[in-house]
Structure 1
């Protein structure tokens, strides 16, 4: 259970110290939604913010993926595309599990909020992973390989 509390960006890697930290920048943008969710007066209010948050996370995921695709050389780009396709299959399976596991029968009225929280955490983790990868590249992209 301890691993669930660790951010995806905490992977042990050597990042480019000259590049801005896209994970920290993302966390700042996401923080507004998380603060609004935490301060929601009702489950209905929290669910409305979660819906906006999921849209935000989806946009951030697409932006991070696109930026990362632009950075990689052909073989790396192909690996990334394969990885993302596999992650999307995993995501869809995980979303089915979340929907079928946190049911009102088993978890009562909190099930809807729990499902929203797990969905958001799943997508947020992938965004953080992609942005963490992106941070390792130089700010101007990769230099062309020497021939």
Structure 2
């Protein structure tokens, strides 16, 4: 009898989790998908990165992409701030400032380890990709925040 109750309990938990995840997935299908939006806006920069060759051109292509992502982050932060209460803004600012310090430390780490001396001309690709991933992930998170407030 105890085994039956445990099995039934596990089945109910599994069904509950399945239903809850399904509901989250269909929360609002009309809202734009942040990842798709960012990928579409990033496409010209990614295409340029894939087409260039050489250390300097790769570095410049990634720099353009980083500047684009940074501007998108700045614009999204401004937009998001306008949707928050003063108390929420204070909390968000503190978190964003901590993220900016984190990014600075990550950039220093990336520059130190994946230097041209250590990795040659391929270092531009590695550094560019690592930095772009950090910025892109932040932008995606900000878009998710913003979409839940709409």
For normalisation by structure 1, the TM-score amounts to: 0.76
Aligned to 2:66: 54
Unaligned residue ranges in structure 1 (runs of 5+)? 1-11, 139-147
Point out the structure with the larger helix share. 2
Alpha-carbon spacing, 1:39–1:59, altered in 2? closer, same or farther (3 Å): same
Count of residues in correspondence between the two structures: 127
Runs (5+) with no aligned partner, structure 2: 1-23
Specify which of 21, 40, 49 is matched with residue 33 of structure 2: 21
The 1-side partners of 2:71 and 2:86 are apart by 24
- Distance change (3 Å), C-alpha of 1:53 and 1:125: same
The structure whose Rg is larger is: 2
Q: TM-score when scaled to structure 2? A: 0.74
Of 96, 104, 122, the residue aligned with 2:116 is 104
Residues 1-147 of structure 1 aligned to structure 2 (within 5 Å): 16-138=28-150
The alpha-carbon deviation at position 112 of structure 1 amounts to 2.3
Whose RCO is larger (CA < 8 A, sep 6+)? 1
RMSD: 2.1
Native 8 Å contact 1:95 1:119 kept in 2:
yes
Check whether the contact 1:15–1:136 (CA below 8 A) recurs between aligned residues: no
